[in-house]
Amino acid sequence: MVCQTTKNSGFTLIELVMGMLIAGVVLLAAATFSFAMRQGQETTDLMLDGPAQIRGASLRITDLVHRAHTLQQNGGTVTVQSEAGTSTLAVSGTTLNLDEKPLLKKCSGLSLEVQKGRLLIVRFKMQAETGWRDYEICAAVRCRSGG
């Protein structure tokens, strides 16, 4: 008498379906986590990058204008003359450039205004975490002795 034994090697259909179901749930959770992390990073960027960019631009513009002798406006360009030389602030689409280098990016409604040759006003809107906000940077030429 010969006894034959059969070996069951491999997985049953139910085991394969259950494995695929568990893998799908794990991948869905990972994708949801990744999406939430990306959204959080975008919100953090809006909260931190915008104000930091505005503070930096405000400091640079204020320092530049305080040291100036004269301000001259020609359309969307303001020429600032000082002892250190001549600098140019120019509006280029959604960017404010200082000597052809970006100072403020991704702005809306950028405008430059010189009043009485001594006061520079930069107006713009920038996107924040809750929508667009209006900003204004004002800087005046310091008084010089003798005139």
Examine residue 7 and state whether it is found in any structural domain, yes or no: no
- Classify residue 67: in a domain, yes or no: yes
Tens of pLDDT, residue by residue, the chain (147 residues): 666 666 667 889 999 999 999 999 999 999 999 999 998 887 777 666 778 888 888 999 999 998 888 899 988 889 998 888 899 999 988 899 999 898 888 888 999 999 988 899 999 998 877 888 899 999 998 866 544
Q: What is the pLDDT of residue 119?
A: 92
Question: Is the Cα torsion angle 21, 22, 28, 32 positive or negative in sign?
Answer: positive
Q: Identify the pLDDT of residue 120.
A: 93
Total domains, the chain:
1
Give domain status of residue 74, yes or no. Answer: yes
Would 117 be classed as within a structural domain?
Answer: yes
How far apart are alpha carbons 46 and 103 in whole angstroms? 17
Q: How far is CA 18 from CA 13, 30, 31, 32, 68, in A?
A: 9, 19, 20, 21, 74
Q: Tell me if 135 is assigned to some domain.
A: yes
| Residue 2, in any domain of the structure | no
DSSP character for 116?
A: T
pLDDT value, residue 42: 79
Q: Please, where are the H alpha helices in the chain?
A: 13-66
Indicate whether 84 belongs to any domain: yes
Domain limits for position 72: 16-140
In the prediction, which pLDDT does 147 show? 47
DSSP 105: -
The predicted pLDDT at position 2 comes to 64
127 within a domain of the structure (yes/no): yes
Q: Is the pTM of this model over 0.85?
A: no
